[in-house]
A and B are shown apart, each in its own frame.
Chain A
Amino acid sequence: MERLLRIDRRIIFAFVAVAVIVSLLLEFRLPVPATPPVENIFSKIESLPQGAHLLLAFDYDPSSKEELQPMAIALLHHCYQKNLRVIGMTLWPGGTGLAEQAVTQVASQYGKKNGEDYVFLGYKPGVASLIINMGEDLYTAFPKDFYGNDTSTLPALKGVESLKDIDYVIDLAAGATIETWIAFGKEKYRFEMGAGCTAVIGPDLYPFLDSRQINGLMAGLKGAAEYESLVGRKAQATEGMRPQSVTHVLVIVFILFSNAVFILSGGLRTVRRGK
């Protein structure tokens, strides 16, 4: 019995790989209903008038790409459909290329022009200082956009002097940037803010949801899938929900099975005695 618990971990690895590949190859539909925190972000964007300014901070790097890039793309589709002026930026140097790719590729699908319909500001160091600088004056914080254009000449930024004039800010975060955006941006310059994050930090953000410091939250690929279903554009995240379900069940089965074996073979007693 106990030998069952000592199998080579590579056998378990193989189980996981097969589960993911097979559930990607097989097509079956699973409903992905949106939860209120995700819906709040969607309806906030729905409520914005054409030409409103939305700042999207891509605060992640390639290691969280598979969770946050689908989220960014779903959001951008929604923004461009609603003809919002998107301002993209990042606090993580490693995320610059991914952010630029997302902003421009989705823009080209809607025929949006750089500088007129959207802006990509790129990366700046400083984190909290940068956010405060943007809150006081966007143009001293970012004198040039990512492509070297003078930001004060860009039509897409017309009517924006600082963060106070931004209608909605969304931070897509793989680290502690949401907290930083709240403390030094949202609370200081009073704008509406929503957030998307990797699943790992998702549970940590519930206090801010409750205190209304963020109006909505998308956590992980699941959050992205919910947003995709709200926008009505099923893509990578929705596809991913099939293997996601299967692997969760697999992990749960592993935990239950091994604990059952552990208890049946008297493992609990040994542990208690060992203490």
Chain B
Amino acid sequence: MRLPLLLLSTLLTVLSCNPCNHGALAQGLELILPEGFKAFDTPNDSGETISLTWKVSPSESTDIDYIIYLSPSTDGPWQEAVRFRSDTHYKSDAPELFGFRKKLRNSHFLRIEPRRYFPGKENKKAVYYFKLAMARGEEVVPQGEVVSARAKGNWFDLSKLNNLIIMVSFSGIVLFFIAHARRFPHLFVRRISGLDAVDEALGRATEMGRPALFVHGLTGMGSISTMAAVNILGRIARKVAEYDTILKVVNNDPIVLSVSQEVVKESYLEAGRPDAYNQDNVVLVASEQFPYVVAVGGIMTRERTAANFFVGFFYAESLILAETGAATGAIQVAATDSYTQLPFFITTCDYTLMGEELYAASAYLSREPMLLGSLRAQDLGKAIIILVLFFGTILASFGIEFITQVFRAF
């Protein structure tokens, strides 16, 4: 290994004495050597790599390779770092550094992590020296120039600029709409047809003189789904108090229990029927999944509830709950953001609020600025995504890749 290196370095010294070696025909091999060999710290990184670039040479072909030599000092010892086919590794492979211009195919680009080649000696400030050579099989023709660079850490990753702009502007949008909703609490939210189904179901329960049942999901008070469920529960309880039917509420968590009791009580109060409120109708029936299923199923069959509402985040128990309810002939409305359970609610319930409709319904009912504002901000985000997708695809199909490039993530 030492001998070829020695030979090579002598050869290099000989060649570098020759002022007209650039683009000259080298001995033995008829190769036009590339020009513009440069080394520089790779931008956008933590200081691990150095980038090398050089112009394409006319004599590149599939059987010609490039070799990069690396050394910690100007005069060697040189070490072969990389060897690769001469028609690979272009600047265009790294759009995060050079952009998307067409002429980038005219230059080669290689990113190299010099410290890897000197394990143990990890001097972060070290300057490294590079040399370039062309090779066909065993024959190696050095290009001659020695370039150097030091890898250093960068303070901003320009390739993530689009991400940063999106983050800052979306944050602005969210905060703006929340502030906006504080001033204008009647921000428009489209009619959620599932809420009409709720009224219909309650109406039927009243007609039949049988109770309605509200089933919470299994998550605690910390989850958005449960908070939305509580908002919807408030609305149902008020209607129930107006219609003068009985509402049973079941759940599995002590905090959700006390919040639900509070909400139902308040709704009865608002409807002017505080006397009709009975705390025993809001109960924690079981703490574990299957006992919960059994207890809720028991209530459905025993009390023959006429309307069942499943609201919140459900797991595998959803199927058994909704099936038992359907078997008793109740009208069922589900609202959940657990997408894996939605298919079962859709096929067993009369109406299902899917995913984000749950949040929208909750915002619509509670009129809380935080919910309304963020709903509106997310809508704006969706609208932007829709426009980008639509126009981006059309333009890309006609060969204009501007939008594609702007939204490209690295």
Report A's interface with B, CB cutoff 8 A: 200-201, 204, 274-275
Determine if B340 is an interface residue (Cβ-Cβ < 8 Å): yes
Across-interface contacts of B331 in A (CB, < 8 A): 274
- Contacts between the two chains (Cβ within 8 Å), count: 6
Number of interface residues of B (CB under 8 A): 4
Bound complex: CA A201 to CA B339 (Å): 10
Across-interface contacts of B339 in A (CB, < 8 A): 204
Bound complex: CA A14 to CA B177 (Å): 57
Bound complex: CA A200 to CA B340 (Å): 7
The 6 sampled A-B contact pairs (Cβ below 8 Å) are: A200-B340, A201-B340, A204-B339, A204-B340, A274-B331, A275-B350
Across-interface contacts of A275 in B (CB, < 8 A): 350
B341 to chain A minimum Cβ distance, whole angstroms, is 10
B93 to chain A minimum Cβ distance, whole angstroms, is 14
Across-interface contacts of A200 in B (CB, < 8 A): 340
Bound complex: CA A103 to CA B340 (Å): 30
Bound complex: CA A275 to CA B204 (Å): 11
Report B's interface with A, CB cutoff 8 A: 331, 339-340, 350
Bound complex: CA A201 to CA B343 (Å): 13
Across-interface contacts of A204 in B (CB, < 8 A): 339-340
A130 to chain B minimum Cβ distance, whole angstroms, is 21
Bound complex: CA A201 to CA B315 (Å): 12
A174 to chain B minimum Cβ distance, whole angstroms, is 11
Across-interface contacts of A274 in B (CB, < 8 A): 331
Bound complex: CA A178 to CA B340 (Å): 16
B290 to chain A minimum Cβ distance, whole angstroms, is 12
Bound complex: CA A201 to CA B340 (Å): 7
- Interface pairs A-B: 6 shortest CB-CB: A200-B340, A201-B340, A204-B339, A204-B340, A275-B350, A274-B331
Across-interface contacts of A201 in B (CB, < 8 A): 340
Across-interface contacts of B350 in A (CB, < 8 A): 275
B113 to chain A minimum Cβ distance, whole angstroms, is 11
Bound complex: CA A275 to CA B331 (Å): 10
B195 to chain A minimum Cβ distance, whole angstroms, is 16
Bound complex: CA A87 to CA B33 (Å): 46
A216 to chain B minimum Cβ distance, whole angstroms, is 22
A164 to B, closest residue via Cβ: B48
A191 to chain B minimum Cβ distance, whole angstroms, is 16
B339 to A, closest residue via Cβ: A204
Bound complex: CA A264 to CA B344 (Å): 23
A63 to B, closest residue via Cβ: B316
Bound complex: CA A274 to CA B204 (Å): 10
A5 to chain B minimum Cβ distance, whole angstroms, is 10
Bound complex: CA A58 to CA B313 (Å): 25
Bound complex: CA A274 to CA B339 (Å): 27
A218 to chain B minimum Cβ distance, whole angstroms, is 18
Bound complex: CA A275 to CA B350 (Å): 9
A200 to chain B minimum Cβ distance, whole angstroms, is 5
Bound complex: CA A203 to CA B69 (Å): 49
B315 to chain A minimum Cβ distance, whole angstroms, is 10
Bound complex: CA A59 to CA B155 (Å): 35
B213 to chain A minimum Cβ distance, whole angstroms, is 19
B32 to chain A minimum Cβ distance, whole angstroms, is 35
Bound complex: CA A204 to CA B340 (Å): 9
B341 to A, closest residue via Cβ: A200
A200 to B, closest residue via Cβ: B340
B196 to chain A minimum Cβ distance, whole angstroms, is 11
A265 to chain B minimum Cβ distance, whole angstroms, is 15
B197 to A, closest residue via Cβ: A275
Bound complex: CA A256 to CA B168 (Å): 53
A99 to chain B minimum Cβ distance, whole angstroms, is 23
A8 to chain B minimum Cβ distance, whole angstroms, is 11
B283 to chain A minimum Cβ distance, whole angstroms, is 26
B322 to chain A minimum Cβ distance, whole angstroms, is 14
Bound complex: CA A118 to CA B339 (Å): 37
Bound complex: CA A200 to CA B341 (Å): 9
Bound complex: CA A204 to CA B341 (Å): 12
Bound complex: CA A200 to CA B344 (Å): 12
A63 to chain B minimum Cβ distance, whole angstroms, is 9
Bound complex: CA A201 to CA B338 (Å): 11
A183 to chain B minimum Cβ distance, whole angstroms, is 12
A6 to B, closest residue via Cβ: B327
Bound complex: CA A275 to CA B193 (Å): 13
A271 to B, closest residue via Cβ: B350
Bound complex: CA A265 to CA B339 (Å): 33
Across-interface contacts of B340 in A (CB, < 8 A): 200-201, 204
B48 to A, closest residue via Cβ: A164
Bound complex: CA A275 to CA B349 (Å): 12
Bound complex: CA A270 to CA B339 (Å): 29
Bound complex: CA A131 to CA B331 (Å): 46
A274 to chain B minimum Cβ distance, whole angstroms, is 8
Bound complex: CA A152 to CA B350 (Å): 59
A187 to B, closest residue via Cβ: B409
B316 to A, closest residue via Cβ: A200
